[in-house]
Amino acid sequence: MTAYRPRFVKQLDGSQFAGVNCTCAAGAMALDRDTLGKKTSTGAIIRNWTGDVVGGTRQQQVADAIKQAYHVTLDVQTPIPFVTAMGRLDKGEGMMLAGQSAATRGTKWSASETFGGNHQWFVNERRHLPNGYEWLVYDPLADGRRNLAQSPMWIPEHVCLDFARRLDVGGHELGYGHFFAVFTKDTEPHVILKFDGTPTIPFPDHCRGRKGSSDIARRIRPGPGTQYAPIQLLNVGQAFTAFQWTNGSIVDGLMRWYGDESGTRWVAASGLTQRGGAS
């Protein structure tokens, strides 16, 4: 699943407390993700709402500030079991994650040559590759300065787990098995795959009835083939959100059909605008 991706909010924005605003900046990205871009902020603005003028902020402080300022409730879990956290991330929730930057210092994911202390990330999603999982990480310090890392970036899961377990809690490392994390709500649509459907890339894929296509190609049907009686006609330029694709009967030389979230409305590929790229 490809989740909605918020804009990157860098920590070092020149504000008074920029050097210790990692949790505030991560909170700004969680706000963006939770509202699908309808509400955005910066680390400096959220810092101001916390009222904290001393040093680094806690996850609960930031969540309280976001609720007060933007009426958005984030779920603070300190700690939460790894398995539970991954279930929520995979389901479609974004995650603020506390850890220690020593885990990435000296690697290609390093955002500072010297800093190795407690830090905060925003984790947007994870994906499974043949060699294991990777997480899409927004490190508020990773703004590309001095040719260092640039967020967002895919980081192997074992590195992310090392980041989380090194969190200094009262002079001791948190250890493996649990996270200090904050979650957005589940923002992602969940497709019901039918007719051996495969999720689209991008997911979902926003398209329209294609100019020059035939009425046959643009007829919406309950299944991926002309053997299914038409439900309605998709007009040229009319929006159709494709969540899945499969092969069906050939229309204008193409076997591919695109289906909606529930798998109950299908349109021939030849009747739709050009598909998005596989990113």
- DSSP letter at 176 equals T
Give pLDDT, residue 1.
53
Give pLDDT, residue 238.
94
Give pLDDT, residue 274.
64
> Between vectors from CA 10 to CA 9 and to CA 15, what angle results, nearest 5°?
110
Q: Would you say 224 and 248 are in contact if contact means Cβ atoms under 8 Å apart? A: yes
Largest CA distance in the chain: 69
Cα separation, 173 vs 89, in Å, equals 23
Give pLDDT, residue 192.
87
Domain ranges of the chain: 18-186, 198-271
Give pLDDT, residue 157.
97
pLDDT 10s digits, 68-122: 999 999 999 999 999 999 999 998 999 999 999 999 999 999 999 999 999 999 9
- DSSP letter at 18 equals G
Give pLDDT, residue 279.
28
**Domain 18-186 annotated CATH 3.90.45.10:** no
What residues of the chain score a pLDDT lower than 50?
Answer: 276-279
Give pLDDT, residue 270.
96
At residue 47, the 3 state secondary structure works out as helix
Cα separation, 73 vs 148, in Å, equals 33
Give pLDDT, residue 2.
61
Residue from 99, 131, 134 nearest 117 by CA: 99
Q: Would you say 65 and 46 are in contact if contact means Cβ atoms under 8 Å apart? A: yes
Q: Give the C-alpha distances (Å, rounded to integers) separating 95 from 33, 78, 144, 249.
A: 10, 12, 22, 42
Give pLDDT, residue 276.
44
